[in-house]
Every structure is written in structure tokens, then in C-alpha cells.
Chain A
Amino acid sequence: MRERAKQLVSSGLDRAVAARGLQGADAMLARSDALDWARLRARALRRQRGVIGGLGVVVTRPGRAELRSLEVLVAGPGEVTVELLASAISPGTERAQWLRLPNARPALPFVPGYSAAGRVVARGAGVEGMDPGTLVAVPRARHASVMTVPAGWVTPVPPGVRLADAALVYLAIIAGYGVRRAGGLTGEPVCVIGAGSIGALAHRLLMLRGPGDVTVVATSPRRKAAAMRAGATSFRTSAEGIEGIAAAVVIDATGDPDAMRSAVAAARPGGIVVLLGSPRGVTPDAGLAEVQSKGLSLVGAHVSALATEAKAAEVDPFAELSREFLDALAGGHLEAADLSGEPGDPREAGLIYRRLAAGESVLGHLDWSLLGVAERVRHGRLLALPALRPSIAPVRGEALELRAQGARRRPLRFAVIGCGDIGLTNARAIARARNAEVTLCHDPAPALAGAAAAECGGEAADSLEQALDPGRADAVFLSVPHDLHVALTVRAADAGLHVVVEKPLATDLAGAREAVSATDSAGVALSACFPFRYEAHVQTAARLIRAGALGELRGATVAFHADKPPSYWLGGFSGRAPSDWRASRRRAGGGVLIMNLTHYIDQIRHLAGGEPAWVAGCARTDEGAEVEDAISLAVGFLGGAVGSVSASASTRGAPANRFEIWGDLGTVRLEPDPAIYTERAVGGIAPGRWTPLVEDATDRSREVFVERFCSAVGAGRTPDVSPADSLAVQAFVDAAYRAVESGESVAIATAQEVMA
């Protein structure tokens, strides 16, 4: 019967998890959360206790940690519930767990942590002297904002002791036990090998016992200053060796299985070697021959052994060691501020562990007060339903923030040159922009110009001369075949008109340089239309990237797919303006690279500052065609990031594009399903999870582009998409085509080099 009930619960849970689209590790996590939820409530009902909620760092799978909701029972008899405000990071153990080293592989998911301090929020019956509000040190605490523990575990924090320092209490108990196992130290020469948090605490605690000379040995000379400040007589790096130390007591706090030989060698005959750090792995030669020949005592000092001792002890040795540490702090006999270190944001636990894993020295603690108080301790959770998946608030787009505020005194007047498909799109964007208007439309096909003017405003201009009349226009928007871009830019500039060119700036780099020179000389603005920058989710991504969400750029992936019909090559998608210029290498400058991929190159530069430095690749061109149909490029960026950029104009079925940019701390996916993942607590998003970036259903990116251009012109500043930006993209295109032709990688000129 009971088995049957279990099966029913299990299958019901599986269905609920599957219905939410959770798979793999996420499904396991949801299952585990739901079972925890049920078990806790069963216990709450059985014991007639309330449930209190908070947040905890959860290692959900190897290499992933995130902040998740957790719940505990409110304190019962002999217990206290503590709002944890600081939890110490134990670099040795937590690094080992993160890397899943031998002897450090807790079952996943697990809440890491060791030691903390906080404020009592509830106490159970029979607990004396722990009024709510009492500050306490909590050994065996996890990295969580709330915890219920036996009252005997906690020790009040004496006045004047920083909570971050008190949070080291369990590490101090461990270190103090190692010192205690060493026996009498007064006047004896001592050597401490390892100067991480446990080693440093052991050193500082043994100094309270009046040792003789103390030698500290550490891998890094960076530890020297702290060791000497704490009273070491001498300091050596591991590389300097341990010859001549001859200590009566050696404390090995390294956790390195190979350090035992050094520890044994550093002990004088008859000495004691305390194994304090937890070795991760097998020691091929534990030095027992030397232990025997020198008459040494080799002593294991692990907190589990202390727990065994505690069973037979009259006075709880944990409480004794805890008080000894806290009293030493309060009395100013022991400094720990350098060990409690900098406060870390609990939301960034994954990042902190990554730094630990990379071998960086991370001495610090998680500061739970950085989270909102309402998140840290949530009362009355008994009736709360389980959350099978964490709620992730998508980030709304924010391109509208860039929009012009109010109309200019006089809108910038545009002459729209070229009124085919993209020309009409651009004319519509101008018409919708708050600080621009269409005054003239020109196209060799008068009907197209007339239609654009009828829809977007202004008049149809019969000739180019009429369209370039500075009395009736302030700027031109060129949406013409690529080979006309430069000539028309020069003519417009000569007429004193600002110029917007539907990308690219030109068919080649020489032309782009000429366009920039002409507008520079005329003192008018020039910008290539790269409007994707202004899509709402791209702007959100830009804000988060600026805030540090990606960290240092590491790479980018672009896979662009289109399934352009044969008619496209004879008149674009609509066929409104019949012309085969797109199929001409001379007229278009190239195929899918110059036509489509340029948008992505601009975005990589704009979003992540990725400056392409070299490119190599290959392309395929249909027999008889002049422009490439598909291209695949390997790109190297300044700073060492790598890129894989490919495009095809004839991928049958046009599968979804892929566009991702990543750094050492996060990844942004712009296509498909825009979302961002970061280990940083930036921009109000949850680190360690993918957060969707909401796309704007009514894409306003072109009109935002127009408004931003007009605002720049009005303010006399360089447009957002500057001539240098346009040149950089053109330089990339130029280098990519040369790389494809030569079969070799080609260095990409910077905008400055192009103009030089």
C-alpha cells in the first residue's frame, strides 16, 4: 500500500515536472525541491512547527551554483532559528567540493558552506539567553540566509566583534582543534605549513599559547606579510624548502597529499606532526619510515574526530573552541579581518567558486545583507506551494529610453533617395521618428517615389538635383544599389546635406574611405544604417554587458540562414523595383557577407567591443553566379576572443539564426530566444540562470536609429553609428573577401589605419 502510494506520488511528480518543460538536471532539481517541500511540511505538521523561508546557495550540478529558495522549520525545543548575515568561505573545502576532488563529492544538489554568523529570529522552548536579536556565531552553517540549529551549536558574539569575523567560527574550531592536538606549545619551536584560512587561523590561535619560534611555510610569498604580522618569526615559500626547521610541532594545513613528506622532514626527532588540512588524494609515500626513525607522532585532526571526542567529553569542546576564538577576537588578541576578507554577493557564489577553482586566492565571506530583507527571511511559509522551477522575471526591452524626448524645434528634413523595398522601410521610419520628416522622395522609377511620398510625406522629386536641394532637405537617406552609395554620398555632402547610407557604406574599402573623406571635408554627418543595435532586447543586453555581465570577451558565434527565392536576385523580396544588381559582384560588392553578416559584425563591436583583428574562411558561389551564396569565417578579435561567423542565403527551410556572444563571466544569446546568463549580480537579474530578454513585438529599431541620428546632428556630435564604425565593418568585409580568395588569414585594418 505504502509502495503504491510512493509510486503514485513519484509518477505524479514526474508528470508535473514534464508539464513544465523541465529536463535533465533541471528536472532532477525540481523533483528534489518538491520532495524537500513535502518532507518539510510533513515534519512541520508532525511537530506542530511553522516554516520559515529564505535563500541559499545551491550547487545544482558540477560547476553551477545559484541562489534558490529554501525553507526550514521554525525553532523547536532546544533550537534557535538564525537569520544568517555573513557566511564564511572556506577556500580549501569549498574549492575541493566545487572541483569534486577526492573526498569532497557531496551528492548533488547541495548547499555548500561551513560557518556563519547572524541574528536569532526565533528560539524554541528551553533555550536560555538567546533572545531574538542576539548576535551569534553558527558553526556548521550553510551558505543560506536562514537556518535552524540546536541552541548548543551557537555562541553569542561578544560586543565589538565584527559579524564577518565571527562567521569564521567553524574554521577557528577546526584550526583550534589542530592546535589542541599538538599538545603543549609553550616555548617550543613550531612550524605551520600552509597559510590559507585554516593554516592562518591555526597560526594565530597557537600564538595564544606562547610558542617559541614560529616558521610559516606557504606556496606564495603574498602570505608573508600577514604571517609576520601575526607573530611568525620567519617565513619561507615552499620553493625555499624546509631544511633546518627542526620544529617540535609541525602543523600541516595544506590539504595537499604530497605535503606530508615536507611536514615530517620539518619535525625534529621526537616531534609531533599534526595533519590539519584534509588531503585530497592518496599520498604515495606518507613518510612513515622517517616517522619511525625520528620517533615522530603523526596526528590526524579532523572535526569528525572532535565530534567523536565530544561524545565522551564533559564540556562540549566545540563550544570551548568557539568561545576561545570569539574571546580572542573581542580581546584584540587575534586579528581576523584579513581572513574574513571582502564581502561577496551571495548571488555571485558561482563566480566566487570559479575564481577559487582557478587558483585565485579568495578570502572572503558572503554578505547576506546585500539581499533584500524580505527575501532573506520569509515567515509563514507553511501553506506556500512548491516552485518546481525558479521564477525568472524576463527583462523588458528598453530601446524606447533612447527615443528623442519631444520634437526638435524643426524636424530634420530627409530626402529619401531610392524608394524600393528598404527605401520605403526607411522612409516609414523617418515618418514615424519624432524629430525627422520626409520632405522629398526620389527614385529612377517615379511610381516608387510617388508611392513613398504619398505614404510617408513630402513630395516626389523628379530628379536627383531636386532631391539634393538644401533648401528643402537637411539630410539624405540613401537606399540604393551599393555601387551608387559613394557617388551619391559625395554629391549629397557637396550639397551640404548630412548622409545616412543603408549599409554597407560602399562596395569596397576604398569607396568607404572616399565617402568618409567627402563628408568630413563638407562638415556633414555620415552614418551607415545598422539599426539592429536599437532593438529592445539588444539594448537591454548592451546595458547588462556594460554593467559587466559578460566579463572579458571570449567569443562570438553567428549562424545566419536565409532561404532567398530566385526572384530575390531579380528584384528583391517584393519585386517592386526590378533590378539584378544584387547578383553583381561589381554592383553589390559581394553576397550574403556584405548584405547580411555586416549587421552582426556591427553588433559584436557595439555590444562587446569585439574588434576583429584577423579573419580566415571559405565561401561557395553557385556556378555562373558572381556573389557568394554561403560563407564561413573564423575570426580572431583583439584581446584573444574567437569568433565563428557563417551565413547562407539558401538554407532550405531557413532554420533559426544563431547569435551568441560570450565572455568569461557570462553569455548573451540574441538569436533565437534572446536571453542572458551571467555569474555577476548585475542589472537586477538572477546570476546562474538564463534570463529571457524580451523582444519588442513592434520593432521600432529603425525609427530609433533615425531619431538618434537626428539628435546627434542637432547636438553637433558624431552619430551613434560613426563613420569609424562603418569603416570598421567595411574593413572586415574587405579582409574577409581577401581571405576567402587567398585561402589565408588576413589581418583587418582598424578604422584609423584605413583613414591613414
Chain B
Amino acid sequence: MSTEVVDAVERVLPSGAGWVEVLGEGAVARHLRDRFEARRGGGEGPPLAVVDTTGEAQAIEQAMARVADLGTVVLAGPPPAEPVALDLYADLHVRGLMVVGLGAGGG
């Protein structure tokens, strides 16, 4: 299951340079960190992509806050149980972010 999620994340991540940050502590998060070892940290500025594996509203908000402009936030955790309130203009629109859901179940 973890491998499938990791593959799915791989598919939706933007190609090319840029580093990836993974939020969460579970098995999926660990696998993702292993997979994207080469794209972890070390880069300048904010991450090009942030993968959330928790499905928690607070973590998702954090992911959107941390990702670079024009970056991608991957929702790789379970669907958020609580509604996530966003200022879509400031949080997503003006920065040109992409928020990608991995599909039912997530991680």
C-alpha cells in the first residue's frame, strides 16, 4: 500500500529540480522520504512540493504555507476529517499553487 502511494506521489510531482518536503511520521512518510532522499532539503528557498501524509487540517495549512510559489501540495493522507478553511486568494490563487489529491484512501 505504501509503495502504491509513493508511486502515485511520484506521478503527480512536478519534474525537474526542486526539493520535496514530507509532512507526517507514518510508514508512508518514511517511504516518501526514502524515495525523495535526493530531493530532500539542501535546496535554497522553500520546497517546490510538500507532501502531506497526515490528512490533518493544520498540516495541510502548514503545507500550503511552506511550499514555494507555483509549487505543489500533495494530499497523500486520508481525506481531512474536518473542513479546511482557506483564504483561497492568498493561500492558493495569487501564488499559483496546485493542490493534488491522490484519490480515495490516500495514504
Contacts and interface: CB of A to CB of B under 8 A. Distances in A.
A294 B96 contact: no
A294 B93 contact: no
Choose among B55, B69, B94, B102 the residue with the greatest number of A CB atoms under 10 Å from its CB. Answer: B94
Contact of B101 (A296, A301, A302, A305): A296
Nearest to B105: A293
Interface residues of B, number: 33
A283 interface: yes
A32 B71 CA distance: 39
Contacts of A284: 83, 85
Interface in A291-321: 291-302, 304-306, 308-309
B85 A275 contact: no
A318 to B, nearest CB: 14
A305 B94 contact: yes
B79 A292 contact: yes
A308 B99 contact: no
A297 B70 contact: no
A297 B98 contact: yes
A305 B96 contact: yes
A124 interface: no
Contacts of B75: 288, 291-292
B6 interface: no
Main secondary structure of the interface of A (DSSP, over half): mixed
Given A300-B93, A300-B96, A300-B98, A260 B88 contact: yes
Given A292-B79, A301-B93, A269 B86 contact: no
A285 interface: yes
Interface in B1-30: 12
B69 to A, nearest CB: 5
B94 A298 contact: no
A112 interface: no
A374 B107 CA distance: 68
Contacts of A304: 94-96
B96 A293 contact: no
Interface of B is mostly: loop
A543 B67 CA distance: 62
B101 A300 contact: no
A282 B96 CA distance: 17
Interface string B72-107: 000101111101111111101111111111111010
A297 B79 contact: no
A117 B70 CA distance: 30
B32 interface: no
Contacts of B81: 289
A305 B69 contact: yes
Given A283-B88, A284-B85, 20 more contacts: A270-B103, A275-B88, A278-B94, A284-B83, A285-B83, A286-B85, A286-B88, A288-B79, A288-B80, A289-B81, A293-B104, A296-B100, A296-B101, A297-B98, A298-B92, A299-B98, A300-B88, A300-B96, A305-B96, A308-B96
Contact of B102 (A283, A285, A292, A299): A292
Interface in A226-278: 257, 260, 269-270, 275, 278
Contacts of B100: 295-298
B60 interface: yes
A285 B98 contact: no
B85 A305 contact: no
Given A286-B86, A292-B101, A300 B95 contact: yes
A298 B64 CA distance: 12
Contacts of A291: 75, 99, 101
Contact of B85 (A181, A285, A292): A285
A495 B13 CA distance: 103
B79 A308 contact: no
B81 to A, nearest CB: 8
Contacts of B101: 288, 290-298
A292 B80 contact: yes
Contact of B106 (A103, A279, A292, A302): A292
25 contacts: A102-B87, A103-B87, A257-B89, A275-B93, A278-B94, A279-B93, A283-B86, A284-B83, A288-B60, A288-B75, A288-B80, A289-B84, A292-B77, A294-B103, A295-B100, A297-B99, A299-B96, A299-B97, A299-B99, A300-B95, A300-B98, A302-B89, A304-B94, A304-B96, A306-B96
